[in-house]
């Protein structure tokens, strides 16, 4: 009852937080139609809010559905693998720490605190695995859900770093009030009622085959269905909005990537895009930075790509494609290092 009341009281200000999204204009809830309206409705019912990290995708409806589908079927849905919501929130928090995404660390750290209000020491090994990789501190059974959470947040962290500030709170929130508001947000995100049924989002996008680098999801039909559909939608977005040479460049760079952060300077980016045609270099810079160092994507990099473009959809599609390419690489690597059936 308390959490339901909180959601009703805070729904309006949470919707107002969409004004914090930069570079693109999310579709306002009152104007949402079709697929966007479907996703918005599910998100508010099942997540308790229309969160800016989801809504920022709305200029590209299929990518919006892909993002929500991954989030819902891994973090929120009641799974058969035995991993509770607190364990999944620990994975989300750990990945977000590793990706230097303070927004997601704040939100999901608060959610974890709301679920485990006393000591979280028992979840520390799970959070550390999510942050740095290595052998998983949980059984292989049910791993699809937790690897899925990790991949989802490797994706979302990059999008959040590009499009949102460091905190979900309004810029003028008094310092003394921030802790109270974040704890309230954590309570808001607790599951309500009977939980979220697996597979409820799969009808948003058409069926698709599961790519080989997502084979870790194969043992859990709802997770596999979500990632197969999401990957297909984001790949189609990439074909629309990312020049072919840029897609090839990023794929080559990711092939041998071990997850390490690039150096502090920007010389590696300029070296990487040097062989691209001049008209493709802005897209190349944005894609590379989104994939490897999203916290360093500045307004000038975005502006160089969007110059002459009137629609926000292309920007969402390019960054989503780059984010998903990096997230898939990290998920494949985590599964191979953690579980014997991924040699």
What residues are labeled active site?
104
Report how far residue 314's alpha carbon sits from residue 299's, in angstroms, rounded to the nearest whole number.
Answer: 16
Can you read off the two tokens belonging to residue 239?
Answer: 């074909």
C-alpha to C-alpha distances, 22 to 27, 126, 165, 234, nearest whole angstrom:
13, 32, 8, 21
Q: Which residues does 239 contact at the CB level (< 8 Å), separation at least 6?
A: 247
CA 118 – CA 191 distance, rounded (Å): 18
For 218-236, letters b (16+ CB in 10 Å) and e give ebbebbbbbbbbbbbbbbb
Task: Determine the Cα–Cα distance for residues 98 and 80; give it in Å rounded to an integer.
Answer: 27
| H and E: helices and strands count for the chain | 15, 0
Helix (H, G, I), strand (E, B) or coil at 99: coil
Show the tokens assigned to 7.
């959601």
Of the candidates 313, 1, 298, 330, the one whose C-alpha atom is nearest the C-alpha of residue 161 is: 298
Nearest alpha carbon to residue 22 among 44, 62, 60, 53: 53
Q: Are 116 and 127 in contact (CB under 8 A)?
A: no
Any residues with CB less than 8 A from the CB of 62 and at least 6 apart, and which?
A: 35, 205, 233, 236, 237
In angstroms, rounded to a whole number, what is the distance separating the alpha carbons of residues 217 and 76?
16
Two tokens, residue 180: 């109270």
Query: Pick from 262, 268, 270, 327: which is nearest to 304 by CA?
Result: 270
């Amino acid at each position: 009852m308390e959490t339901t009341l909180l959601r009703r009281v805070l729904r309006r200000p949470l919707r107002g937080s969409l004004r914090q999204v930069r570079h693109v204009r999310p579709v306002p809830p009152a104007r949402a139609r079709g697929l966007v309206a479907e996703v918005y409705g599910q998100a508010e019912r099942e997540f308790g809010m229309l969160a800016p990290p989801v809504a920022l995708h709305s200029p590209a409806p299929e990518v919006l559905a892909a993002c929500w589908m991954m989030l819902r079927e891994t973090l929120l849905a009641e799974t058969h693998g035995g991993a509770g919501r607190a364990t999944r929130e620990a994975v989300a928090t750990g990945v977000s720490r590793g990706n230097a995404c303070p927004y997601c660390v704040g939100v999901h750290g608060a959610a974890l605190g709301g679920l485990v209000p006393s000591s979280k020491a028992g979840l520390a090994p799970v959070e550390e695995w999510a942050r740095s990789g290595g052998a998983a501190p949980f059984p292989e059974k049910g791993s699809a859900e937790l690897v899925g959470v990790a991949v989802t947040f490797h994706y979302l962290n990059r999008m959040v770093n590009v499009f949102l500030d460091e905190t979900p709170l309004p810029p003028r929130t008094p310092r003394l009030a921030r802790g109270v508001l974040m704890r309230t947000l954590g309570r808001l995100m607790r599951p309500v009622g009977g939980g979220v049924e697996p597979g409820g989002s799969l009808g948003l996008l058409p069926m698709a085959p599961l790519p080989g680098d997502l084979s870790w999801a194969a043992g859990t039909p709802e997770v596999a269905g979500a990632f197969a559909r999401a990957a297909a939608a984001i790949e189609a977005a990439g074909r629309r909005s990312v020049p072919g040479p840029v897609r090839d460049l990023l794929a080559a760079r990711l092939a041998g990537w071990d997850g390490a952060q690039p150096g502090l300077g920007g010389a590696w980016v300029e070296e990487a895009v040097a062989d691209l045609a001049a008209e493709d270099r802005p897209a190349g810079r944005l894609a590379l930075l989104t994939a490897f160092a999203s916290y360093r994507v500045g307004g000038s990099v975005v502006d160089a790509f969007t110059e002459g473009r009137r629609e926000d959809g292309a920007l969402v599609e390019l960054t989503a494609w780059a984010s998903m390419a990096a997230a898939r690489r990290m998920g494949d690597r985590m599964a191979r290092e953690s579980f014997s059936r991924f040699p």
